[in-house]
Amino acid sequence: MSDERDARAVREVLARYVRATDARDGKAQGALFTDDAVVRIRTRTGQGGYEPFGEPLIGGAAVAYAVENYMAPHPEGGAGHHITSDHIIEVDGDRAHMNAQFIVFRIRARRRPETGWPADTFGTQGSVEPVESGYYDTELRRVDREWKIVRHDVLLDMPMAVPGA
């Protein structure tokens, strides 16, 4: 496989990753990782560096579990939408490194009134709000002709807080 085709296949792994995140599909997301993959979340410190947030996840099964049990489900009319850009991909045989920027949008659709939209209603109904941004820094390995994530660092541009932590 050519480097260009490999780079495209590596980029597709990230595309599947963000779609699985948006859909809260742990099984699909977990399948993108090796059994020994390491996933770390890091938040920007304000002094130009990053600090760890929580414990690393190890392996695709842990990723699937985290998506299914720790990510809040979308509310009715709600969704998440990831955008990735500026992919920098280096392929070296059966190993690859990818770094890409991301933005996550929170989607909140207004519920259609039972009597229908008022006559003067126009356009999309709801809101789209950027809520997260950062970088994905990812190492991949070809396993049985398929690219799998072996290390995935989520580098958030802002600090993160969760209740009880």
DSSP string, 129-157: EEEEEEEEEEEEEEETTEEEEEEEEEEES
Q: Which of 32, 104, 18 is nearest to 63 (CA)?
A: 32
Is 104:14 a contact under the CB 8 Å cutoff? no
Note if the pTM is more than 0.95. Answer: no
Domain map (residue ranges) of the chain: 3-156
Residues 21-53: pLDDT tens digits?
Answer: 999 999 999 999 999 999 999 999 877 789 999
* Mean pLDDT rounded to a whole number for the chain: 93
What's the number of CA atoms in the CB half-sphere (13 Å) around residue 56? Answer: 12
Phi, psi of 18 (to 5 degrees): -70, -35
Cβ neighbours of residue 33 under 8 Å, at least 6 residues apart? Answer: 39, 59, 60, 63, 148, 149, 150, 152
Question: Order of strands, edge to edge, in the sheet holding 95-109?
Answer: 50-58, 33-44, 146-156, 126-143, 95-109, 78-92
Q: From the options 3.10.450.50, 3.90.1170.50, 3.40.50.150, 1.10.287.90, give the CATH code of 3-156.
A: 3.10.450.50
Query: How do residues 93-141 score in pLDDT, each as one tens digit?
Result: 999 999 999 999 999 999 988 999 888 999 889 999 999 999 999 999 9
Residue 43: strand pairing partners: 51, 156
